Amino acid sequence: MEGGLMQGLQSLAPIAMALMVLAALVLLWRRDRSVWLIVAIAAELAGLVFRGALFVLPDVARTMPLLFTVWTLTSLVFAAGLLGYAIETTQKR
């Protein structure tokens, strides 16, 4: 029983983390309305969909190996959006 609970918590932790990052991005966007933040939000939402799919359907990774490639690309787009926002913000000062 305890092992199942720990496994469930370990599976939910990345989803909770993604939701917190998404909330932080939305709060930043409400203040600055940067297109870079829209890019980061869209990519993080896509990553959250992938995490949710792996949580609900763990076997999808075996049947769709392209999933991890696309998931990695969403992470790259997220990082580019966040970096773009950071550069934009520091150039305004």
- Residue-wise pLDDT tens digits, 2-59: 667 777 777 788 889 999 999 999 999 999 999 999 999 999 999 999 888 888 887 8
Count of alpha carbons within 13 angstroms of residue 60, beta-carbon side: 14
Within 1-93, residue ranges assigned H as helices are: 2-32, 35-56, 60-63, 66-92
Q: Which domain holds residue 14?
A: 2-92
CB atoms within 10 A of CB 32: 14
Residue 1 has pLDDT above 60, yes or no: no
Number of domains in the chain: 1
pLDDT in tens, 49-83: 988 888 888 787 778 878 888 989 999 999 999 99
Which of the four pLDDT bands, split at 50, 70 and 90, describes residue 85?
very high
CA angle centred on 8, ends 73 and 10, rounded to 5°: 50
